[in-house]
Structure 1
Amino acid sequence: MNLTQVVDTALKSFRHEIPEYVASGIVDMSTGMLLDADTVDEHPREILDVLAAATADLFQGRTVTQVEHMWRERRGLEPGAHHYFQEILVNSDSLIHLFLRSRHSPDIVAAVVCRLEANLGMLLAQARQVMRELDGAR
C-alpha cells in the first residue's frame, strides 16, 4: 500500500472510530506539509495548512527539541535517536485535539479533533488503534 492509500485509510478510520469526531489530518514532519485531512465541516485550506505548521511546532519547535536533546544526553542516547514526545493532548474551549506520532515512521504525526464531550479514554484507545493500523500498513 502506498503512502496516499495509507493516509486515506487512516483518515477514514479516525472518522469512523473516534467518538465525537470533528476532524483529522496527517502531517509529514520532515516537510511540515499536511498530507491530507478530513473534516465534518468545510475549512479553508489555509487553516488546515496552519494546523500542519502548529503540529510541527508542537513536536519539533526549538524548546521541544532542546528538551529532547537534554533527555537524550542524560540517558546516554545517540543524538536524534529517539523522539521523547509521542502524544500531545490539547483541550480548547469546546474541542479536544490529540496529536500522535507514528511509532514506525516518526516523521508522520496524526492530529485528531473531537468535541469536548468525548470520552477521553475511548478517544485515546481508538486513536492509538488507528495509529497501530497505520504503522502496520506501512
Structure 2
Amino acid sequence: MTDISISQVVTNAVKDFRQTVPECVAAGVVDMSTGMLLAVDTVDSHPSEVLDLLAAATFDMFQGRNVVMIEDIFKKRRGIQTAQHYFRELLVNSENLIHLFLRSTVADDMVAVVVCRRSANVGMVFAQARTVLRGLDAELGR
C-alpha cells in the first residue's frame, strides 16, 4: 500500500462524509490550529466568505475563550488531567439543516463539519458521521 498525504486523506474523508451521511449537503474539515478549512465538498457552491466564517465559527464553538473555561471547569471537577479537549461533538439545528461538528480523537486540532437536511434521521447522521470519522482517525494515526 502506498502512503498518501494528509491533504489527500482529509479530502477523501470529506468525500466519504458527503457520500455516506444521510441527506448530507456539505462536509468539510477545519484545522483548529490554523483556523483554516482544509477541505470542503458541497452539493452547490458557497461563497468563500461563508466557508471562511464556517472555519472561524467552528473554532469559536470548540475553542473560544468561554468554551475552554467551561472545559477546564468540567475537567477539574471530574479529576481529568489531560490537555485533550473535553467537548468532542456539537449538534446545531437551524431552520432547514442539521450541522454536526466532530473533533478527531487522533488529531485534536481537526474538526469535521457535516451539514444535512433537517429531514435526515439524526441518529443515522451521528452513526454514519462517526463511522467516517473513525476511518479518518485511522488514517491520521498511521
- Whether these two folds match at TM > 0.5 is yes
Q: Aligned partners of 2:32, 2:121: CA distance in 1, in Å?
A: 28
| Structure 2 partner of 1:61 | 64
Q: Aligned partners of 1:93, 1:102: CA distance in 2, in Å?
A: 27
Summarize deviations over 1:81-120 as a string: whole Å, max 9, x none.
Answer: 2211000000000000000000011100000000000011
Q: AA paired with 1:7?
A: V
Alpha-carbon RMSD across the aligned residues, in angstroms, is 1.0
Instruction: List 4+ stretches of structure 1 deviating above 6 A.
Output: none
| Gap regions ≥5 residues in structure 1 | none
| Structure 2 partner of 1:77 | 80
Corresponding residue SS for 1:103:
coil
Q: Aligned partners of 1:126, 1:3: CA distance in 2, in Å?
A: 22
Residue 102 (structure 1) aligned with residue 104 (structure 2): yes
Return the TM-score normalized by structure 2.
0.92
Residue 4 (structure 1) aligned with residue 7 (structure 2): yes
Count of matched residue pairs = 137
Q: Aligned partners of 1:95, 1:72: CA distance in 2, in Å?
A: 31
| Gap regions ≥5 residues in structure 2 | none
Return the TM-score normalized by structure 1.
0.95
Q: Aligned partners of 1:67, 1:51: CA distance in 2, in Å?
A: 22
Q: Aligned partners of 1:76, 1:116: CA distance in 2, in Å?
A: 37
Q: AA paired with 1:60?
A: Q
